[in-house]
């Protein structure tokens, strides 16, 4: 393979990873935008989502990669898995908000964030206890279609992944920009008390934000499984941290920023793995996290600066 082919291949891989990180980053950024909380539970809502999707597909009789579907059945199965998973993780997110985070609203300091760490641990271990520590083979009905572009390969799963991510992001953008609830979310993010004075039910806005963010994390969980053909109880942590880095890189609280940051982090991971060394990619990504926070805390596209002064 020539240099260009390798580069192209890594860009294809990077954009795929990036699309997944972007979906996950959106949840961080939306919740932060509304209630200024870094939600560590989000890491494992994503992981739980990948299991939900697996279970849904297994329930539909698709086990492993042997059942290949085409046409409407394929779209139908994926759509059902996607919708059920998103509903499931969305409800999980809402439950977490209602039961564990709402009582802490208005409590200053780090208590809410520490709570999300605890919640993340609980999700992580509940899955571990129920499915065990080994990775699980994923159900994947996608045909092994592939196209050669020069020396690089584009597979159907990448196209599928890109389209799911694109549709969801366009949908979210439309929701936030055009609907009344979306406007209420924007208003709440900009000035919570003023939004309340306009008659916005802020509690409801928070619930919907958690629902949407967690639903997107669920979609990312499904995508993870279809892309890597496995899932495991440990996938939440590293993917979550990368997605968080993406959110920070794009400008936390900024929805287009999360999408851009996600793609960039995906590219950094794939290109860094190719041209530096896989074992150093985490160091590169966390260094970006630290450097962005220190030198450009508002991120690439800007948002409320996280620095106090």
Q: Using CB under 8 A as the criterion, which residues of the chain lie in contact with other proteins when the complex forms?
A: 36-38, 100, 103-104, 107, 109-115, 117-122, 124-126, 128-129, 180, 183-184, 186-187, 190-191, 193-201, 237, 241, 244, 248, 279-280, 282-283, 286-287, 289-290, 293-294, 297, 306-309
Cα angle at 212 between 210 and 213, to 5 degrees? 65
Nearer to other proteins, 212 or 289 (CB): 289
CA distance 58 to 167: 25
**Which two three-digit tokens encode residue 34?**
């509304």
Closest distance to other proteins from the beta carbon of 213 (Å): 17
CA distance 112 to 181: 25
Closest distance to other proteins from the beta carbon of 4 (Å): 29
Buried b or exposed e, range 92-109, using 16+ CB within 10 angstroms: bbbebbeebbbebeeeee
CB 50 within 8 A of CB 244: no
Nearer to other proteins, 69 or 241 (CB): 241
DSSP helix/strand/coil, 126:
helix
Nearer to other proteins, 83 or 234 (CB): 234
Nearer to other proteins, 40 or 138 (CB): 40
Nearer to other proteins, 60 or 288 (CB): 288
Nearer to other proteins, 75 or 99 (CB): 99
For the chain, the residue count is 309
CA distance 295 to 26: 22
CA distance 85 to 169: 17
CA nearest neighbour of 299 among 246, 232, 233, 242: 246
Closest distance to other proteins from the beta carbon of 9 (Å): 25
Sort residue 19 into left (φ over 0), alpha (ψ -120 to 50) or beta.
Answer: alpha
Closest distance to other proteins from the beta carbon of 290 (Å): 5
CA distance 136 to 22: 24
Closest distance to other proteins from the beta carbon of 22 (Å): 18
Nearer to other proteins, 59 or 198 (CB): 198
Residue with tokens 């990077």: 14
CB 89 within 8 A of CB 218: yes
**Which two three-digit tokens encode residue 206?**
């928070």
Nearer to other proteins, 66 or 180 (CB): 180
Closest distance to other proteins from the beta carbon of 258 (Å): 15
Closest distance to other proteins from the beta carbon of 131 (Å): 12
Closest distance to other proteins from the beta carbon of 275 (Å): 16
């Amino acid at each position: 393979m020539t240099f260009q082919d390798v580069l192209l291949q890594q860009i294809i891989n990077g954009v795929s990873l990036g699309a997944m990180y972007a979906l996950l980053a959106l949840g961080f950024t939306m919740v932060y935008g509304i209630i200024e909380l870094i939600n560590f539970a989000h890491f494992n809502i994503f992981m739980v989502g990948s299991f939900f999707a697996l279970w849904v597909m297994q329930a539909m009789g698709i086990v492993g990669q042997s059942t290949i579907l085409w046409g409407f059945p394929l779209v139908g199965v994926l759509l059902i898995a996607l919708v059920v998973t998103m509903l499931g993780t969305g409800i999980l997110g809402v439950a977490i908000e209602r039961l564990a985070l709402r009582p802490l609203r208005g409590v200053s300091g780090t208590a809410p964030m520490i709570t999300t760490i605890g919640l993340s641990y609980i999700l992580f271990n509940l899955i571990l206890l129920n499915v065990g520590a080994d990775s699980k083979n994923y159900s994947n009905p996608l045909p092994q279609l592939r196209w050669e572009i020069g020396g690089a390969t584009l597979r159907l799963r990448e196209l599928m992944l890109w389209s799911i991510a694109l549709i969801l992001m366009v949908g979210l953008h439309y929701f936030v920009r055009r609907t009344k609830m979306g406007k209420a979310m924007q208003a709440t993010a900009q000035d919570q008390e003023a939004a309340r004075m306009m008659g916005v039910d802020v509690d409801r806005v928070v619930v919907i934000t958690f629902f949407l963010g967690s639903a997107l994390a669920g979609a990312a969980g499904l995508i993870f499984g279809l892309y890597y053909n496995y899932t495991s109880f440990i996938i939440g942590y590293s993917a979550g941290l990368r997605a968080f880095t993406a959110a920070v890189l794009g400008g936390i609280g900024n929805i287009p920023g999360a999408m851009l940051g996600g793609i960039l982090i995906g590219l950094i991971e794939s290109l860094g793995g190719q041209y530096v060394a896989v074992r150093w990619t985490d160091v590169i990504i966390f260094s970006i996290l630290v450097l962005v926070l220190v030198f450009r805390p508002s991120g690439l596209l800007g948002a409320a600066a996280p620095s106090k002064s």
